[in-house]
Chains A and B, each alone.
Chain A
Amino acid sequence: MPTDWIWGLVGGLMIGTAGAAFLLLNGRIMGVTGVLGGLVDGTERRGALPFLAGLILAPALAAALWGGQSHLTGNLSLVALAGVLVGFGTRLANGCTSGHGVCGMSRLAPRGILASLTYILAGALVMAVLRQGLGVL
């Protein structure tokens, strides 16, 4: 839809403001991989629970009040495979779209830029092959 990019821009500004506050107030990089991964494997639990609680509860409330759909596929084996790839990959690379993308690229970090280019290209390649090529996605 033609207005989607406006919502994207406004939502993006909110995401960036959240990251700015997390950095300037708490001294932390707002990377979900780092926060969640540190909690899961026990390497860094500081501040993870309040942050993750906000991240889950606020959109839950917004979706309940004003609607929200993830359109996530019900194919559970595909979902599980994707989840393992995303968890393993982001943790190995030390970051995802928030840490490497938003926080890393905005400080012109070479690792953030290279990682972001890599995961977008890999994602686009998978899309090109599985959806446009084989028509299975």
Chain B
Amino acid sequence: MRRLTEFLAGALFGLGLWLSGMTDTVKVQGFLDLLGAWDPTLAFVMGGAMLPMAAAWALAAGRTRAVLGAPLPGPARRDIGPDLILGSVLFGAGWALVGLCPGPALASLTYPGTRLAGLVFLVAMCGGMLAAKPLRARFAAPLQGSLMDIRHLTPDYAVSPQITPEDLPTLQALGFTTVINNRPDGEIPAALSTEVMKAAAEALGLTFVINPIRPGDFSDTVLATQGAAIATGKVFAYCASGNRSSCAWALSTPEDLDIDARIAIPAEHGYNLEPLRAMIAARVG
């Protein structure tokens, strides 16, 4: 079923490119030729495409899963780096040279008359994509410079094992506004103690919530604190493995999720909450 819908989405996309004229390089170059005989068609295509797409984002906003079960994408990234600008400049230049971008290059691959050139473009484009791989890794490095392993349970709540102060700017760039520490200080190395993390987080303007959980000890106070923090916006919680932060979420999140979802979502990230089923049921009702 997933493969069928993937195929159909690709097919409808391709037909839309064909019908709209976007597989015709003359029309694309005409749009970019502002000083010449300007062709506005591309603007209508982009506008038309954004209408259903904006509706889809609105529909996706309150959900964590796509219809066929896969997780929906997390919130849009907000970090703007030289890779975004430089890459877009190079792309725009290449786009103007012959009038092809990646989608139409594939959609027009077998059109009569231009098969050899279309194939040359595709091979060169794939080569360019491969060549960008090491540079992508380098630009991604400052962002993911730590070993931080962010696991999104919902678009607005993520967990991970212990983080460091160097991770906090990344979390901020990703749009998180609140960080919860679910580890008691006794188990944390001094360099990463609650006090150190709190100072670093607050220096960035992040809200830092101290909510230590001893393994298995999900008291009403702990859960009330976690639930209240979760309700404040985009929240990131950490403990030793992310397990306690996941359990506390399942037991306290104000979101309208049934018991099975509260267990199944953390399970996707390797957290087994089955032993807590009765406790979750008692709280969710």
Is B52 part of the contact surface with A, judged by Cβ < 8 Å? Answer: yes
A52 touches B48 (CB 8 A): no
Query: How many pairs of residues, A versus B, come closer than 8 Å at their CB atoms?
Result: 490
Known: A32-B103, A96-B101. A83 touches B94 (CB 8 A): yes
Which of B62-70, B163-171, B180-188, B217-225 interfaces with chain A? B62-70
Rounded to whole angstroms, the CA-CA distance of A36 and B120 in the bound complex is 16
On chain A, the residues within 8 Å of B2 by CB distance are: 25-26, 47
Please encode chain A, from 9 to 43, with 1 for each CB lying within 8 Å of some chain B CB and 0 for all others.
11111111111111111111110110011001101
Rounded to whole angstroms, the CA-CA distance of A102 and B22 in the bound complex is 14
Q: Which residue of A lies closest to B54 (CB)?
A: A106
Is A134 part of the contact surface with B, judged by Cβ < 8 Å? Answer: no
Rounded to whole angstroms, the CA-CA distance of A103 and B26 in the bound complex is 24
On chain B, the residues within 8 Å of A83 by CB distance are: 94, 100, 105, 120-125, 127-128
Rounded to whole angstroms, the CA-CA distance of A87 and B116 in the bound complex is 18
23 A-B pairs in the complex with CB atoms less than 8 angstroms apart: A11-B45, A12-B20, A12-B48, A18-B11, A27-B65, A28-B6, A40-B129, A51-B6, A54-B7, A55-B103, A62-B14, A69-B112, A70-B111, A72-B118, A73-B98, A83-B100, A85-B97, A89-B94, A90-B91, A92-B86, A110-B80, A114-B80, A122-B93
| Residues of chain A having any CB pair with chain B under 8 Å | 4-5, 7-30, 32-33, 36-37, 40-41, 43, 47, 50-60, 62-63, 68-76, 78-94, 96-98, 100-107, 109-112, 114-116, 118-128, 130-132, 137
